[in-house]
A = this chain, B = another copy of it.
C-alpha cells in the first residue's frame, strides 16, 4: 500500500499521521511545495504582531520529526505538477534541484489548500501590497513593521484573516484603515451582529470603511502607497494587506478531470472521496456541506481540515469513516472583542428559503456581582416548527468562545431552544451565572416559540404606524441620563407601569423597550394580560443602536 499526499499542512499532515497509525507497514509520502510542512498558519498574524515571539514556534513539526515519529517521507519544496489517474502516478518537481520525476500511488489524498485572492487591479504587485498565507509571507510583512518603516496600513478585507492582521498591526502601533466591500465585517455573521464590531473598531480608533471597493494601488509621492477606492477616494499608507478571501488550489484536480463545484472547489462524497475512487480530497480546496441544511458550502478553517484529514485517511486505508458536514464554527479576537458564530447565518438561510426565527439576548459572562463581568449579545436562529437550533452568533468579551462552543455542540446534537433553557452548565461566580447566557438565550427564544411574548425588531420602529403605535421606554431616569432614547417614546420606568395602565389607550399598540429586552418582556407580560396590545423590542436599545448604525 502506497499513500501519496499532496500538501503537508493542516489537512495533509493530519491525514499522513493518521494513515501511519492505521498501517505501520504502508509507504507514505507527503509532497509539499513550500519550505515548511505542518506549520501554524493560524499563528501568522500573531507572529507579525509579536504576540508569538519566536518564529520557531510556528513550526509544529519538521520533516525530521515526521520521519522519527511517523516514518513518513516528507518532501518539502517539491511541487506536484500533474496527476496521471490512469497510470496512478503523480508528476513531481524538486524545486531545489529542478528535477522532475514520477511517483506512483495506490491512494492519493489532496490537501492543497487555497491561495489568497489577488484581484487583477492596477498596482496590485507593487512592493508594499502583501498577502498572508505562508511563513515567508509573514516574514515579509513583519520585516517592514520591525524596521519601523510603516506607520500606517490599509487592510483590505474584513474576513477573519484581515481582522486578525488589523488587530495585530494596531498592537504594533500602526494606524490602520480597514476597507471592506460589503456593508459588514465578518461575513459569517449577520450584519446587525457585526455592527457591534463596527462600533468597537471605530471606538478603538480604526478608520473603518464599509461598502468600499478598492480599484487600485499606486506608489505615493515621497514613498508609501496610495490605495484608490471606487468613487475617487484615496487612502495613503505605508503598507497594504490584501485579504479579500481565498481561491481553492484546484489546478491539479481540474487538469486531472476531477469534478469541481461551481466556485472551483473539489467535489467529494461523505467519505471525502472525489469522483476518482482512489483519490480523496480535504481542507480548503473542497466543497462540503453545511451540517444543518445539507447545502453546499466551502469552509476554509483548520478544524474542519484537520477532521477531514483524519477521516480521509481512514477511508484511504480501508476503514469506513463518514464526514457529516461542518457548522463552520469560527471565532476571532478583535480589538478586545470576541466575535464568534456557528451554523448557518440568517442571511444564508433566507437566501436559501429555509424558514427560521431569531432571538437576541444580552447577558453578562459571569455573575455581575463578581468583578470584571462583560456583556455579550447572543443571537439564536431556530426552526419555527420545532425550535431546533440552526445557528448562533455571539459578540462580546470574555466567555464568548465558551458559549459558541456550547451552541455548536447543541446544534450538532439537534437540540432545540427548549433544551437550551435547561442545560446544566457550570456556575460559580468567576465563570458564569445561575442562568448562563445560553440558558437565557434559550428562554428568550422559547418564550417566542411558546407565544409568551411577541417580539419585534428594530426595523419595526422605522415602520411604525403613527396613528396606532406608541413607543414606551421602560428604563429608569438615571439610565436615560447616560443613553439616548428613541425619539417620540413615552417614558414609564417598569416599576411605574402597572400604575400607569389606567392612563393608557387600549386602542393603541405599545412597542415596549428597555436596555436589553428583559424589562420589555416583563412589560409585555403585564400589558398583554391587562387587555393591551403590546410587543417587545427584542434585544432592547442595546440592539437597536448597532442595528440602526
Contact = CB atoms under 8 A, between A and B. Distances in A.
Interface stretch (A88-96, A134-142, A175-183, A402-410): A402-410
A29 interface: no
A21 B446 CA distance: 14
Contacts of A426: 303, 329-331, 340, 342, 401, 404-405, 408
Contacts of A40: 367, 369, 429
A419 B408 CA distance: 12
Given A405-B406, A424-B327, A370 B51 contact: yes
Interface residues on A, range: 35 or more
Contacts of A81: none
Interface in A487-537: 494-496, 498, 519, 522, 525-526, 529-530
Nearest to A56: B369
A200 interface: no
Given A291-B424, A408-B424, A426-B340, A71 B498 contact: yes
Given A413-B410, A522-B69, A303 B425 contact: yes
A279 to B, nearest CB: 23
A218 B438 CA distance: 49
A289 to B, nearest CB: 13
A163 B482 CA distance: 40
A422 interface: yes
Contacts of A414: 413
Given A329-B424, A415-B413, A530-B24, A434 B369 contact: no
Contacts of A409: 406, 409-410, 413, 415, 423, 425
A367 B39 CA distance: 12
A350 interface: no
Interface in A246-292: 291
Contact of A333 (B430, B496, B529): B430
16 contacts: A21-B522, A42-B427, A42-B428, A69-B495, A303-B427, A303-B434, A303-B435, A329-B424, A330-B427, A331-B427, A342-B426, A405-B425, A406-B409, A409-B409, A412-B415, A413-B419
